[in-house]
Amino acid sequence: MEKLVMMFGNAYKNRRVLVTGHTGFKGSWLALWLQMLGAKATGISLPPATSPNHWDLLGLDVESFHIDIRNEGLLRQKIVEVKPEIVFHLAAQPLVRRSYLQPLETWATNVMGTANVLDSCRQVEGLTAIVVVTTDKCYENKEWVWGYRENDPLGGHDPYSASKGGSELVAASYRQSFFNTSSSPLLATARAGNVIGGGDWSEDRLIPDLVRSVEAGKSLEIRSPKATRPWQHVLECLSGYLILGQQLLEGNKACADAWNFGPDREGNRQVEQVLSVLKADWPSVEWICSDTPQPHEAQLLHLDSGKAREKLFWRPVWTFDEGVAATAEWYRAWLDRGDMVSLNQLQGYIRHAKERGLSWAGDVAS
Q: Given this structure, which CATH class describes domain 13-355?
A: alpha beta
Dist. CA 168–CA 135, nearest whole Å: 9
**What digits encode the pLDDT tens for the residues 169-216?**
999 999 999 999 999 999 999 999 889 999 999 988 999 999 999 999
pTM (predicted TM-score): 0.94
Q: 253-271 as b/e, with b when 16 or more CB fall inside 10 Å? A: eebbbbbbbbbeeebbbbb
Q: How confident is the model at residue 142, as a pLDDT?
A: 80
pLDDT exceeding 70 applies to what percent of the chain?
95
The backbone region for 121, taken as left when phi is positive above 0, alpha when psi lies in -120 to 50, beta otherwise, is alpha
Q: Residue 70: helix, strand or coil by DSSP?
A: coil
Dist. CA 138–CA 136, nearest whole Å: 5
Domain ranges of the chain: 13-355
Q: How confident is the model at residue 2, as a pLDDT?
A: 47
DSSP letter at 38 equals T
Q: What is the mean pLDDT of the chain?
A: 92
**What digits encode the pLDDT tens for the residues 324-346?**
999 999 999 999 999 999 999 99
Confidence of residue 106 (pLDDT cuts 50, 70, 90): very high
Cβ neighbours for 346, distance < 8 A, ≥ 6 positions apart: 29, 32, 33, 36, 235
Q: How confident is the model at residue 267, as a pLDDT?
A: 84
Does 232 score more than 90 pLDDT? Answer: yes
